[in-house]
Chain A
Amino acid sequence: MLSQAENDRLTQVGRGTPMGELMRRYWIPVCTSTDLEAGGAPRRARLLGEDLVAFRGDDGSVGVMEESCPHRGASLMLARNEDCALQCLYHGWKIAADGTILDMPAEPEDSTFKNRFKHLAYPTRESGGVVWTYMGPADYDAPFFEWDWTLPPASHTMHLRAVGHSNWAQSVEGAVDSSHQTYLHDAKSRQQRDRDYVERMTREGKELTDGFDETGQIVRPWNDGRPRLQVEITDFGYRYAAIRRPLVGADRFKNVRVTQFVAPFFVLVPAPDGWGQITMHVPIDDETTMFWHVRSNLREPVDAGTLRVMEDSAGLVMGVDIDENLEKKATRANLWLQDRHEMKHGDRLSGIRGTIPEDQAVQESMGPRYDRRKEHLATSDMAVIRFRRIMLDAVRKVEEGGRALGHESTTDFRTLRGEESTIPLDTPWESVGVPT
């Protein structure tokens, strides 16, 4: 539960809003590197309520700038991309990636107008196959985070995305809410896969943690719908553990699943051995979020078959589940294509295809920006409750002139991982998921 004022402070991200000012102190994902072809079409990118275009010049460099031409507002999505600049289709104003106006061909030849102002453009970087931008104050020293998944070559990394039609905080709250796993995402086939996996791992004497089965799907050695949650505040956000009874050996062991929340919208969920992964919940505006799930094989390139299994399991197959604008075909209007027959007689308990549409269906069903005065939180919402408090505290700190949460962290984010392990009952959960 939050007051209306607190809810607004948490959820509104436009320029000048408290959370919007905090968000603008971080580097933010814009699109994937492969979205932008050298000299090719610009790509629309709405971030924090601002309409932007991203493009890649002939030399490979990337620009991110306000979509609207500074002349009379025509969309630069229509612009020509040449000479590492966008040239507006309307009157030929030519704008470089840093916002410099290179040409106003309809103006008198001796005009100095173009030298006297710049278009709104933001600095960019590329890492992990992602284009990032910084939309904050020029005099703020914003560190750029590198992660384990940004280190391997692009061929090792898979990027899944989908537009969610609800506020970014609803999306993050889904990602730090371990207990919904057993309900929203349950399926008869999943339960069978988990049991088969546990039997095989036990037979082979291997550690009981997340893994892949022979079909390439993630399997888990637990089925406990009442996890005990523990949260430890860190200098970048928090890490929390969902502690469950494992499917075997519950009298001697506990399964500990540690998730890292890194402000403002990064969630590192446990990945199978040899993989790194992250979810990013990027505010498009107050009522829309770009959900990212990035998974990287830390040892070898990813093949097309692995990508296909991940897309299929997530329910984000291009042309089947989502369109070229990353919009889901399952929407509020069609009740997220929920299949009532399947719910009663089939496999998935939700009747909704794919884990991400399942997540986004419930988040969108809450309304585009949920009024948290109405809710009735419970003890299983511990991580959600802590997320709100530390983000509201972080907002206040920036308002008072302080640094953004995580920007004074001593943690090397490349060593930060979600981690799952099945450990003896008397071993502290804090031993799992410690940055190295």
Chain B
Amino acid sequence: MIDVDGLTLRLPEEPDTVAALVDTVAMQLRELHARGYRPRSLVVGPGLYAQLATLKQRELSRGVPLMLLGLCVVPI
């Protein structure tokens, strides 16, 4: 399910809702933490990145990085 280099988390398929995305990432993080990984970033497609950036527009405009569950969200 997951492609991880120890620091970066990628999802093979991107859920179609924010609730599902957060839930999926949370479940993956739990597995990774149990295996001793501490990923720092989440790589997502440009469409999803844009959707998340819209939700967090106010923070981004203040220079706060786009984050989800403590992971820096970066576009592919």
Interface residues of A (CB under 8 A from B): 1-4, 6, 229-230, 373, 376-379, 381-382, 385-386, 388-389, 392
Check if A379 sits within 8 Å of B23, measured CB to CB. Answer: no
With A and B bound together, what is the CA distance between A373 and B51 in angstroms?
Answer: 11
CB pair A386 B23 closer than 8 Å: yes
Complex contact A389–B19 (CB within 8 A) = yes
Residue in B closest to A391 when the chains form the complex, CB atoms: B19
Q: Which single residue of chain A is at the shortest CB-CB distance from B70?
A: A378
20 new A-B contacts, CB < 8 A, other than A379-B26, A379-B33, A385-B23, are: A1-B18, A1-B22, A1-B55, A3-B17, A4-B55, A6-B17, A229-B30, A230-B30, A376-B67, A376-B70, A377-B22, A377-B26, A377-B69, A378-B70, A379-B69, A385-B19, A385-B26, A386-B23, A388-B23, A389-B19
Residues of A within 8 A of B26 (CB): 377, 379, 381-382, 385-386
Known contacts being A3-B55, A376-B67, A389-B23, is A382 close to B17, with CB within 8 Å? Answer: no
| B20:A389 contact, CB within 8 angstroms | yes
In the complex, which residues of chain A have a beta carbon less than 8 angstroms from the beta carbon of B17?
3, 6, 392
Give the B interface residue count (CB, 8 A). 17
Which residues of B line the A interface, CB within 8 A?
17-20, 22-23, 26, 29-30, 33, 51, 55-56, 67-70
Give, as a whole number of angstroms, the nearest-CB distance from B37 to chain A.
12
**Chain B residue with the shortest CB-CB distance to A3:** B18
Q: How far is the CA of A23 from the CA of B22 in the complex (A)?
A: 24
Chain B residues near A377 (CB-CB < 8 A)? 22, 26, 68-69
Instruction: Give bound CA distance, A389 to B30, whole Å.
Output: 17
Pick from A373, A378, A388: contact of B55, CB below 8 A. Answer: A373
CB distance from B41 to the nearest CB of A (A): 15
